[in-house]
Structure 1
Amino acid sequence: MPIAIACPAPTGAAKGGVRAAPALDAGDTMEATLRALVDATPTATLLFDAGQRVHYANPAARVLARLCAPEKGDRPLERVADWHPELLSTGALHLCSLHGSWSGEVILGIGRGQHKILLVHLSRIGPERFGMTVRDITQESVRESELHARNAELEVAYEKLQGAQEQVMQSEKLASIGQLAAGVAHEINNPIGYVNSNLSTLQRYISQLFSAIQSYEAALAEGAGPAATDAIRQKLDLDFLVADVPQLLSESREGIDRVCKIVRDLKDFARKERSEDWVKADIHRGLDSTLNIIWNELKYKAQIVRTFGDLPPVECLPSELNQVFMNVLMNAGQAIKDQGIITVTTSVAGGRVRIDIGDDGEGIPADVLPRVFDPFFTTKPVGSGTGLGLAISYGIVSKHHGTIDVSSTPGQGTLLRIELPIEQPR
């Protein structure tokens, strides 16, 4: 705390009614220096006895007295209560006597609905002597309150921004599914078509089998011999039915599994995840799932070459990463005009997994390359792209504490590298 000077008994009165200490001996330079230091400090400092009679007050204390009771002006300041009746409570003085010191904030009303907030520190400096420093922290408290209010406003704005960002991401995701709807419908329609055809054929086969059973029963009841049963077998072509029915069932099951996988991948892709849904996920499953959804967009122009390394499960938001994979793979397919190759390579580098997606398409000009992650920037014709795909992908990868980089050579192709930590930082 600022130093409170213990002085000999008062002999006279100083300006404002505070009794001044007697003149110091010329040789007592240390005490004179300390006295000058306390007089110069901007913190109000008082020295008083157990009866709260003031023996010393520095100039800052006299300024504080005018601030605490501006309507009273200059007045005798002989006791602590002369500054303000509520400046020093008996409880605070008692605690200081017991423990040697006490600190706290005191709120004083100064009239006209105004108040002062003071930081008060008491120290026991002798059996009957106490020192008190008082600092006006009203403006600091006001600034702190304003800072809390601004922080609250920023938190609300951040929540709104985060909500808007999530809505944009979800809208872009659903827009992507909308663009793929025709292709997905085609991918689902093919297996559904031959399952429907197989079920019709199977229905006819079952009818034939029931007829065969009835004919066998009738022949056996009449005591017919092997020649009659062979004739029934040949008439209904039972040997063919026995061979073809399992094949029909196998094809139908394969088609239904194909439809189920597409629907499941669509559901996983379109799902809106909460921010806390961080899970350990298989990156390869996400890549396969995404390729399955967009396969109809790629299969007519690109050969997919997978080179998957041995990856551990990665802590991530799987559906958001799938959106990244889809955006990058769709861009790779659109970069290929006629026929080409898209490579998908995964590996582990240190504590991170690496996903490289490349194509041998047209490439990106050098002047455009730095802008590919800018929101709303697109090289596609007006109306055919939002310019948000790679910008959202960049945001998702950054959210995962990863990096996404692109390199390209015009006329030769483009490589986009994604690196993700295996474990999210805590």
Structure 2
Amino acid sequence: MSKSLQVVLKSIKLIFLIAVIYSCNTSNEPIVITPEDYHASVDKVSQIMIHDIFSPPVASRVFAYPNVAAYEILVQKDSVYTTLSNTVAGLKAIPKASETEPVNLKLSALIAHMEVSKMLVFSEDRIDVVKDSLFVKWQDINNEEFVASKNYALKVVDHIKSWMDKDNYNQTRTMEKFTVDTDDPSRWQPTPPAYMEGIEPHWSKIRPFLLETADQFKPIPPPEFSLDKDSDFYKELLEVYTISEEITKEGDTSEEIAIAQFWDCNPFVSVTRGHFMFATKKISPGAHWIGIVKIAAKKTDANFMETVNAYTKTSLAIADAFISCWDEKYRSNLIRPETLINQNIDQDWVPILQTPPFPEYTSGHSVVSGAASTVLTSIFGDNFAFDDDTEVPFGLPVRSFDSFSDAADEAAISRMYGGIHYRAAVEVGVEQGRNVGAFITQKLAATN
């Protein structure tokens, strides 16, 4: 036998051996994707945003786009839900999945969620680690289905990226920084300990998802600024100080302090140790409500489509709520209680919560809570009782609520207990959020 023939035969044997080994390692069973897989992907994004210290408005954008990508993939074969295209601003119909290829839409949706999320975070490698591990697993189960599903997901990702890139976010990165007006005593000033600049002063220029304009639900103005002790404004200022002093005396037994700490959700908390200052890691207000979505979906044993629907519509409400709120924040540009109390009442006073770095009115957590709770109620119903364990990883106990609305009310008042908002900001803020949520719920009704 010639050497060339021997080489050919060895090559054939090697190819056959590889094929046998590969066939043994590949089951060719359908790849099963569960709601737990989607929860895990959303949780991973939340963890990365905590690590990367995303501001609350930017974090809301990071949640919204990946969920829309997953939702749009799934609805093309769903008999209950319909597309968001031409309902959500600027979103056109995504490419359709091939009828001749073994595309698993749940798998494509999950891949799209991870890929779009990766575009929006800083620590891309943290998503890659999880994604690469899953890719190997899915290849071993059914490589043909995996490849077809992945290729389709990437087409949708490109489509979503093109839409996403037109929301004016990139343009706001180069806009001028916020200028502090030191001549007007009513205007916001940076607060201790970090004295950070005003965060996202141009967020109202971001394209809303469902709102018609950023100021569509413009709230009533705050009480007129005045340090006259008989004025409504001064009475609200003094109320913040008085409540803080009373509940601080109660110490660890104070229910109000427990409420304030539970809903703190400030990713900008700075801690000073000697000459060093560092940030502690905390969840954002939007991420807290995304955690509540998970709780509700698991409690109702929601299927994959129902789970993605709840995440998507809640994240859209959260994102538009931040646009609405930030539009008012930098219009009214109101000074925080901490600054005025230190200047006029007690120079040594420190709020229970650390004051976040942006103007006071309206309360962001109140607006977002009002919007998210309204949308969640439309999905899961009134009087939906739940145990909120979202803050357990941060050392805080579970709190229980009789409804999403009750949770929103508590989140709102927590800001006054914490000493970082006046009463008007929380009461008007939660109403502003509920108006946003009601509008979004009505606009999305056609997609259910």
TM-score by length of 2: 0.22
The answer to which structure has the higher strand fraction is: 1
**Which structure is richer in relative contact order (CA contacts within 8 A, separation 6 or more)?**
2
TM-score by length of 1: 0.23
The answer to which structure has the higher helix fraction is: 2
